[in-house]
Structure 1
């Protein structure tokens, strides 16, 4: 596709980017991150730029607002805002545009809010810098801005610090800052990627209401095609620094022309779960358990019989107290109460939860942040002690395990955490990270462990050269594959997956879900899958348990939950999936 502007030209487009080129200076020489990108955003409309991490979407947006990193610069093309050329504008004049004319809502609220300054002071700073309030009346404007962003008790919240806010509240604070000056253009860079679907919908609704009232146009940066289709009139798809497809949202979803766009439509779980059609000849995403055929070509596995270690998971503990016909995990009336500190009342995080995990199956626990799903998983992993209730694993009550019995249990149950970077030691090579569980529990000699590590990396489709690399040298998807390899090292029977793909792009996300499905079929693994993303859950789970405020409110087979949800909270979660209401025909 040519780099020509794909949208109809307006007499006076608000934002017009033509043949934009951005280059970064690196130790290995110049790297061009954006190649001849062109797009137009008209007044009062929302334009979404979608693509994977590294596709150039955020770089394009930051070029508009003049916030490229120090080693980045615009090396070609034009960026015109309201008729004014921004490329080459000196910093003092750019500051007059930035914030006042073009607002920004960045992705990570914790790294973009000053932790030692109150939220109110941070909103006030924006207003004072641009002369939209005086010291005398700024507090009144701050409270109004926080209230408009949907924060409850804005007077009290203005005096609080970011750490006293939830994730959704922090994002609302960023919205208040971004829209406080009533800008003509708002750049929203992945504004909800770390939030639960219900909070995500609330935040996006708030942005939509505020921008409609002000008449603000929105440039939305996202890797979620379903979210883009629901919230934007126009879509630009970027891949490796180039715009590969662009047009009205419905057109891009109905009839994607570029192979990369078709892959995005196929892979996006929010779209797949909403039954959005894809063009003829495009295979649907893998089913609940995945299949070896669904794994990318580079994911071809080594022969399981060649594994240089003991038996495969699920077969080396046959002498245990459980029967193969019994569920692997039985949780009954599980409760966890956290004691209050400094005069605060006790907090019941989990109350009377009962569920089972059948052998070789995937049971998902879903719910918003604070619903108790991760606390339940951590009690199963013996990271938290239950206040009451029981957990039986393979017929054995594990709540009182200590010493050697606890060590034996932990070899049979392994976790995969949400953030593959923070869960991997940055000082260790990948080989040492994967080998560590084997060394800890005395599995094999050094040569056998080295062979086992090599085989495990092959199983998760990582090249042998990965063994000598460090976590910071890998992509997010590669790091999560390392975490999976480490979890498999001890041949566990149960893997507890705590938000294992929520930080990944949709294409990488699909690869990881396919990998988990293949490993389950190959080794008979059982999964307890923790997630707030019901669209992902539908692709991976056999059974779903829905938690709210520490209680289990609904549990049923996956298809039953998605086609016939009974509890109002479950229906609300389903309704919040981005793209859920779309019905695009192939």
Structure 2
């Protein structure tokens, strides 16, 4: 039995945090990241902390488990686990608490799983460290943990490496590690932020089922208010390091009292969707544009405009990958035909592995199609000369899903945003510096970020840098591959409004890849639904969300977190 369990106080909450303050020592002085946080979690209870990037929610969680980043320390307050004070516990005691008493499911599985160690080895490591398995039975325990986390064929999966797993499978592996020692408290830090809605639902159901069976309490860190309202019994709202409101989940979300909580609810497309902010859909503009096509859903589908009205057209696009050791090839994209009307937004949605990102990468000329045509401004992209390709790459810019891997860690933020301007020699040095500062303002980043590096920014801040870089050359078409998946709802709202403003001002066109269907509804004119590489449904956004025809589309819509909640406007 762990030290915390041995010192349990009868009738005490499992976790009690009082007056918690966390400081970070930086080159610019001490930063007060968390101030005066109070919270309690009862055994078996699920509590969610919500707030925008930098609000202190993850810092609070890391303080509880004793994993603050370098320079961080608990400056004041109390953290009691089963009545035992652990705020300033020595490292050897915290090592025994982590995993055994408090489990952790972190946000990014690729950076939290060892890429050169097999999945089974990583699960075994925590079991052996806490003496819950022996060398003789550890493999059996690993298989049991992976099975409980919902991984199919666990014996084979245990022998594979993280890169051989999909995003959802990697997240399940982290769940297996976090719950392998059957802890009494599980900290889940944005466990599904990069997953599509159906996989997200499966992962959260898996966490819920496992924690119910084990009687484990859950501290859920999330920026998704719909998810918090759906999965937690209590919600704690943090802003600038302080708790501004807390209470029963549905009460907080349906009747928020604090102005900041109200702003979160109003900005959250995953909660509000069309019901709260119909004006954001520019319905009147779309009705005027499509008034001649009323009465026919097919007439509103992408690809029905004349060729002159389309900036991009896909015709029977197919991408096939040979699979080593197998007779049948893998068909990633299968006979897809669609078009992107000039100045409008076409969204592609679907589960992980549906082919949506592969389609986008073919448009960007990152990979070549096996067959079919991609036309940009009426010209076959495959036949472009070197000079024409150079011009094409200026006009078509990407925003990738993972800002950490798409930003050079050795470059400052200023150099990252200026890179395309420097490469294409846009303007003088002074002009470029002025443009970089304007782009920082556009994506709501302070000028003080210019000298920082990607590692010094939060995930949401890195994504905003990636968006600023994509906008630098004033492109005609932007391919957005999950551009707001790492952003909290307020910044997400700012970025979506920014994309909308730029589209109206400059006539930009967007190909928008997303697993967040509420965001898709908010920003898109047309929606294409992909499954297993094929296009199963394509129509106007309004048609897809109000009258979905394909059962798969209906299943995706039913998986939106908080879809059935009555959220206040």
TM-score range, shorter chain: 0.7 to 0.9
Provide the residue aligned with 1:287 in structure 2.
280
Name the structure 1 match of 2:392: 409
Q: Contact (CA 8 Å) 1:541, 1:558: kept in 2 or not?
A: yes
After superposition, the Cα gap between the structure-2 partners of 1:146 and 1:445, relative to the gap in structure 1 and judged at 3 Å, is closer
Please say if 1:504 is aligned against 2:487: yes
Moved more, 231-240 or 134-143: 134-143
Deviations 1:196-235 (A, max 9, x none): 2211111110010011111111111111111111100000
Separation in 1 of the partners of 2:124 and 2:104? 16
CA distance in 1, matches of 2:391, 2:186: 54
> Secondary structure, in 3 states, of the residue corresponding to 2:191?
coil
Closer/same/farther in 2, CA of residues 568 and 13 from structure 1, 3 Å limit: same
1:129 to partner: Cα distance: 2.7
Q: Does the Cα contact within 8 Å between 2:53 and 2:458 map onto a contact in 1? A: no
Give the match for residue 578 of structure 1.
561
Give, in whole Å, the separation in 2 of the partners of 1:129 and 1:574. Answer: 43
**Preserved contact between residue 323 and residue 394 of structure 1 (Cα < 8 Å):** no
Q: CA, structure 1 residues 502+285, in 2 after alignment: closer, same or farther (shift >3 Å)?
A: farther
SS in 2 for 1:371: coil
Q: Is the 8 A contact 1:123 1:142 kept in 2?
A: yes
Deviations 1:226-253 (A, max 9, x none): 1111100000011111111000001101
Aligned partner of 2:366 among 361, 383, 401: 383
Partner of residue 338, structure 2: 355
Contact 2:21/2:32, CA 8 A, preserved across alignment: yes
Q: How many angstroms apart in 1 are the aligned matches of 2:86 and 2:434?
A: 57
Q: Secondary structure at the match of 2:59?
A: helix
Q: TM-score, normalised by structure 2?
A: 0.87
Equivalent-residue separation in structure 1 for 2:402 and 2:111 (angstroms) = 16
Contact 1:274/1:581 (CA < 8 Å) preserved in 2? no
What's 2:296 paired with?
none
Name 1:541's counterpart in structure 2.
524
Aligned match of 1:370 in 347, 350, 353?
353
- Cα displacement (A) at 1:256: 0.8
CA deviation after TM superposition for structure 1 residue 62, in Å = 2.0
> 1:183 maps to which residue?
183
* Shift, 1:115, TM fit: 2.9
Cα distance, 1:288 vs. partner? Answer: 3.2
Structure 1 pair 129–285 and aligned structure 2 pair: CA distance change class (3 A): farther
Q: 1:149 to 1:435 in 2, by over 3 A?
A: closer
Distance in 2 (CA, whole Å) between partners of 1:454 and 1:221 is 32
Which is worse superposed, 329-338 or 473-482? 473-482
Q: Give secondary structure in 2 for the equivalent of 1:287.
A: helix
The Cα shift of 1:70 comes to 4.3
Q: Are 2:389 and 1:396 equivalent residues in the alignment?
A: no
TM-score (norm 1): 0.85
**Contact residue 254 and residue 566 of structure 2 kept, 8 A:** no
1:326 paired with 2:309, answer yes
Work out the CA distance in 2 between the residues paired with 1:452 and 1:58: 33
Length, aligned pairs only: 540
Per mean C-alpha deviation after superposition, the further-off stretch among 79-88 and 535-544 is 79-88
Q: Following TM superposition, by how much is the alpha carbon of 1:193 offset from its aligned partner in structure 2, in angstroms?
A: 1.5
1:462-473 map, 5 Å:
none
Which has more helix, going by share of residues?
A: 2
Partner SS for 2:182: coil
User: In 2, Cα distance between the equivalents of 1:500 and 1:130?
Assistant: 40
Kindly indicate whether the alpha-carbon contact (under 8 Å) linking 1:289 and 1:518 is maintained by their aligned counterparts in 2. Answer: no
1:131 and 1:436 map into 2 onto residues whose CA distance is 51
How big is each residue's C-alpha offset from its partner over 1:451-494, in whole Å with a ceiling of 9 and x where there is no partner? 66566566556677776766566665555455444434444322
Q: Report the Cα distance in structure 2 between the residues aligned to 1:290 and 1:424, rounded to whole angstroms.
A: 36
Aligned residue in 1 for 2:288: none
Q: Which moved more, 1:89-98 or 1:494-503?
A: 89-98
Residue equivalent to 1:557: 540
Q: Alpha carbon RMSD of aligned pairs, Å?
A: 2.8
CA distance in 1, matches of 2:252, 2:441: 37
Unaligned stretches of 5+ in structure 1? 1-9, 278-283, 292-321
- The equivalent of 2:254 in structure 1 is 254
Q: Could you say what secondary structure the match of 1:58 adopts? A: helix
Q: Could you tell me how far apart the structure 2 residues matched to 1:13 and 1:255 are?
A: 27
Give the secondary structure class of the aligned counterpart of 1:131.
coil
Deviations 1:111-162 (A, max 9, x none): 3223333222322232233232333222222211111111111122222232
Structure 1 equivalent of residue 206 of structure 2: 206
**Contact 2:398–2:479 (8 Å) recurs in 1:** yes
Distance 1:379 1:158, change over 3 A: closer
497-506 or 467-476, which moves further after superposition?
467-476
* 243-252 vs 193-202, greater mean Cα deviation: 193-202
- Give, in angstroms, the shift of residue 332 of structure 1: 1.1
Is the Cα contact below 8 Å between 2:142 and 2:158 reproduced in 1?
yes
Distance 1:467 1:158 in 2: 43
Alignment of 1:114-263 (within 5 A): 114-263=114-263
**Structure 1 residue 63: deviation in Å?**
2.1
Cα distance, 1:547 vs structure 2 = 0.9
The alpha carbon displacement at 1:361 in A equals 0.7
Q: Could you say which residue in structure 1 is the equivalent of 2:24? A: 24
1:336 equivalent to 2:319? Answer: yes
Which digits, 9 at most, give the CA deviation of each residue in 1:308-365, with x for residues without a partner?
xxxxxxxxxxxxxx98952222211111122344667432211110111111111111
3-state secondary structure, aligned to 1:59: helix
